[in-house]
Structure 1
Amino acid sequence: PILTQPGTALAAILLADIWQWTPFMVLIILAGLRALPKEPFEAAAIDGANGIQTFLRLTLPMLRKVIAVAVLIRGVDLFRIYDYVYIITAGGPGTATETLSFYAGRIYFTGDFPYAATLSLIVLVVLIVVSNLFVRLFKVRF
């Protein structure tokens, strides 16, 4: 019954995807936290900064690029969701949970290869443009 409603079916797919990828994102953020220098935090403690001030004015700004890389990886990964949609709902109910990659795969398996290839190429171009804008916006260097 849960997967027969469009809103709850999409929530089930999102929950499964979040369940799989949250540990990886936590590891990326944890690696960034471990790499932060200790001196600014010691200076903030001496200056009397509380935990919230230290987090908002030191930790978050220093983790900005690490968080940006994690969001970029996750954002690019979201475009390729096919397996959850296929296994959990097969794109249903109706087409409520059909993603772009699932739609391209469905078109491909119906035999319309040029349309599926064109759709996939458009997704690739959009991903490249959005990723480049994101990298420029957050000044991420690899």
Structure 2
Amino acid sequence: HQPGLINSPYNLLTGYHYSPPFGLDVPEGRYFNPYYDHMIIAMPPQLHDGMIEYEDGTPSSAPQMAHDVAEYIAYLGKNKAPDQKVVIGLMLAVVCTFYPISYLFTKAHYVNTYSYRLELYAVKSGGYKKFREKMFKTHKVNGNWLGAYT
């Protein structure tokens, strides 16, 4: 959010009453508006006094209508992003749903689930050691001259 952003449409809609500075030529069919980026705009003035009638009797001046338009644009812009509480709640729901599921499909889950296999391998001579090296990668890799474990 930039400061003064709400005032931008208001200033653009009400800035047509200024006269161009000395030396600035405004082509035919264009208008001078100091609130536009290049100060020369092709859009003619959009709001004139008495264009509409308010139900509550508010005078329909160009500044009043420009204020209403600017407030409406600001209202539309505020409601685009979801609330922070909603986003945090959705993130927690996703994490609490998928983290246990991802845990179920890890190696540690299967080692714990099928732990009876560890006892069977322990009976054999060296069977558990082979299983442990295969499952937990504690053995050295051939050709690893640094001696590091993988």
TM-score normalized by the length of structure 2: 0.26
Q: Which has the higher contact order (CA 8 A, sep 6+)?
A: 1
**Structure 1 or 2: larger helix share?**
1
Give the greater-gyration-radius structure (CA): 2
